[in-house]
Amino acid sequence: MEGDAACSDSIEEAPAPVKSRTARYLDSLGFVNIAEADSSIAIDLMYTRADNFTGTILYEDLKEAYLHPDAMKSLKQAQHLLRERHPGYSLVVYDAARPLSVQQKMWDTVKGTSKYIYVSNPSRGGGLHNYGLAVDISILDDKGLPLPMGTPVDHLGKEAHITEEAALVAQGKLTEQERANRLLLRQVMKEAGFRPLPSEWWHFNRTGRQTAKERYRVIP
């Protein structure tokens, strides 16, 4: 008994993860940590790694995904809607709130190239990510694997355009199953109040840009 008691006394709870400086700043602005608000939603921030369209790590210290509370409320609803249809599935977030300073790095990468149309110009106020009102997202199956969508997230090309899906299927560049998976994602996100972006199947906005500028605060 004494030995068991001694072992029990020696067990300590693991310390809570230390938040990054950027995460603490977003907390101070009133943004919501997605993992804390709904731990069932998977997080895999693509800009914490170099395997994105810029080829560089853009989030040097941010490891957490944040959203404005209005967007977070809708995201939780989308997760609920998805699991009503497919109990083993889960949304996975690849990017959410993005500081304008990171937006500038992205813009500098595409400025002067044909890819500039895919990145919001920070000098014009940036995009909805910079207000915490947009999310880059997909779906994981019941084994935790991403559903095939025809292109990777962050693919800058017509293959990612939702307006081109019928033609892509006809050309053999997108399968019917991949198209159905995209439709499932759009259905749950739109029902929850998000708006799809025509050029990126993974990108959804919670509101329009003008409304964001009038009612919300950009993240420096």
Q: Kindly report, residue by residue over 29-61, the tens digit of the pLDDT.
A: 999 999 999 999 999 999 999 998 888 899 989
Ligand-binding annotation for 129, yes or no, is yes
Ligand-binding annotation for 203, yes or no, is yes
pLDDT on residue 7: 46
- For the chain, which ranges sit under pLDDT 70? 1-16
User: Is 200 assigned a catalytic role?
Assistant: yes
Burial class (CB in 10 A: 0-12, 13-18, 19+), 16: exposed
Contact 202, 152 (CB under 8 A): no
Catalytic residue, chosen from 64, 164, 178, 200, is: 200
CATH topology of domain 19-215: Muramoyl-pentapeptide Carboxypeptidase; domain 2 (3.30.1380)
pLDDT on residue 54: 86
Ligand-binding annotation for 136, yes or no, is yes
Model's pTM, two decimal places? 0.89
pLDDT on residue 3: 46
